[in-house]
Chain A
Amino acid sequence: MTNDKRPGFLGYRRSDGRIGTRNHVLVVPTVICSAVVAERVAASAAPVATALPHLAGCGQLGPDMRVTHDTLAAYCAHPNVGAVLVIALGCEQVVAQMLAETAKRHGKPAEIIAIQSEGGTVRTTEKGTRIVQGLAERLASTERDWCDVSELVLCLKCGGSDYTSGLASNPALGRVTDRLVDLGGSAVLGEVAEIMGAEHLLAARATNPNAAAQLIQIIRRVESEARSLGLDIRGTQPSPGNIRGGLTTIEEKSLGATHKGGERAPLEEVVGYSAPIRHKGLTVMDTPGLDVEAVTGMVGGGAQVVVFTTGLGTPTGNPIAPVIKITGNARTARQMADNIDLDVSGIMAETETLDASADRLFDEVLAVASGRETAAERLGHREFAIHRRNPTI
């Protein structure tokens, strides 16, 4: 889509100045104990209402507790969310009021109910259902506005990689990243272990010494974690499926994976898990390689659209952000057609150029940002998992 020769999309302008690509009622359980009720409540107004079922919220130590809280709060503040219902148990660590206050500070209606004070599963589900259906009705009249492409924050992700990822889908996405950043937009790359072996290429594009130094530091941390366990990360990185697909080492996987970040987009900052993405250009987020935890964190950081490249195929979605699946593997495009949004296997077959594939992907990103449903949304894939570092106490 273009307007006055600048590409753009139809998004939701929020009162805090941020731009959403979706308009969800978010049902947030504070703790695993209220997750089932939250899912049932959200199901009563799906797909507008969507839940964040998670395994944490209690029994967590300092830094881990903070990551859980900050991730949930980041979703409450996210521009793809129009209203929030927090469902508490009543005795957990995560504070329901703080989540609701975050949503309100960002101009969103927010309510809280607690299972212990409502009097059990049945009453809480009934009351939550009434609240969520009311919030969904309020959101129904929100209209989309024309927004410049520079308002986009794109999450760059790959999963189920094979040799086509590094040759076709990741370079196609990299061209989209460069074009978006040239136009003033933002992109975020995570999966620190999958930068290992390619960090020299990204560090050389850092606009400040801090970003380069932090990138090296988080990669060394991942290596020292493997060392402290006395393990070789091969078998985990690359995964058994990656190895069957022809990827031999983490360096090879990383060199292919890092193509997603383009060839010239400047690296502006390295941020912590689900921390705000504050700069135009490229940001690296400290996330694990596990797909759902990585996407969860980068969407928490503010990405409104995810592009997920895959070789072997994978269904992962997200509760609030559309996830676009793209593959360069013709067999996967056929075999997992219901999960794939864009087939760029023509790059491998030499029937389509990389640039032509990238143009199609760029158009798809803008169409999805404007509301086009992705395969993951159509199939109800709303995976969500908060990264944890410490043991449960």
Chain B
Amino acid sequence: MKAALVISERDNVATALQPLDDGRVLDLGGVSVAVLEAIPSGHKVAIRAIAAGEPVIKYGSPIGTATADIAAGAHVHTHNVASGRGRGDLDEPAPAAEPRLAEPPDGT
């Protein structure tokens, strides 16, 4: 089994498929990332530096925004990622994304 999985080439995180120890070096398809802290199985590790305010990308889509600078190899979870959705606790909640509506099949 792979140690960690990157789902889409757009992703800036990998999912640990087993517990990863501090110092372990991950080989992710040619890119090597040194793990900076213990990552539990199923949790995410940054595969490149993510600056505060940048989107965190998994499955090729944004899953939230970094709330602090995240170094490559660091644990990425609720302590450093905020969701932009369903945030009634914020004064000015982020607007819902405007998804592209599909064209009707007959072009009308």
Contact = CB atoms under 8 A, between A and B. Distances in A.
Nearest to B100: A204
Contact of B102 (A206, A234, A237): A206
Contacts of A209: 101-102, 104
A203 B100 contact: yes
Given A199-B97, A203-B99, A251-B64, A246 B40 contact: yes
A227 B88 contact: yes
B81 interface: yes
A209 B105 CA distance: 10
Contact of A251 (B40, B41, B42, B62): B62
Contact of B42 (A162, A213, A223, A350): A162
Residue from A199, A228, A255 having most chain B Cβ neighbours under 10 A:
A255
Contacts of B58: 252, 255
B36 interface: no
Contact of B76 (A205, A212, A248): A248
Nearest to B63: A252
B88 A348 contact: no
Interface stretch (A56-64, A95-103, A163-171): A163-171
Residue from B17, B63, B81 having most chain A Cβ neighbours under 10 A:
B63
A232 B102 contact: no
Given A163-B42, A249-B81, A231 B89 contact: yes
Contacts of A198: 61
Contacts of B81: 248-249
Interface size band for B: 35 or more
Contacts of A256: 59
Contacts of A232: 83, 86-90
Contacts of A163: 15, 41-43
Given A197-B63, A203-B99, A220-B96, A248 B88 contact: no
Nearest to B96: A220
A233 B104 CA distance: 34
A335 B53 CA distance: 40
B39 to A, nearest CB: 9
B59 A226 contact: no
A250 B96 contact: no
A246 B87 contact: no
B54 to A, nearest CB: 14
A252 B64 contact: yes
Contacts of A166: 59
A193 B85 CA distance: 10
Contacts of B2: 350
B28 interface: no
Contacts of B56: 248
Interface in B8-50: 15-17, 40-44
A160 to B, nearest CB: 13
A193 B86 contact: yes
Contacts of A213: 101
Interface string A241-279: 001011011111001100000000000000000000000
Nearest to B2: A350
Nearest to B101: A212
B85 to A, nearest CB: 5
A249 B42 contact: no
Contacts of B105: 207-208
Contacts of A245: 42
Contacts of A199: 97, 99
A233 B82 CA distance: 12
Interface of A: 162-164, 166-167, 193, 196-201, 203-209, 212-213, 216, 219-220, 222-223, 226-234, 237, 243, 245-246, 248-252, 255-256, 348-350
Given A167-B7, A203-B102, 7 more contacts: A199-B97, A206-B101, A209-B102, A223-B85, A232-B86, A248-B76, A248-B77
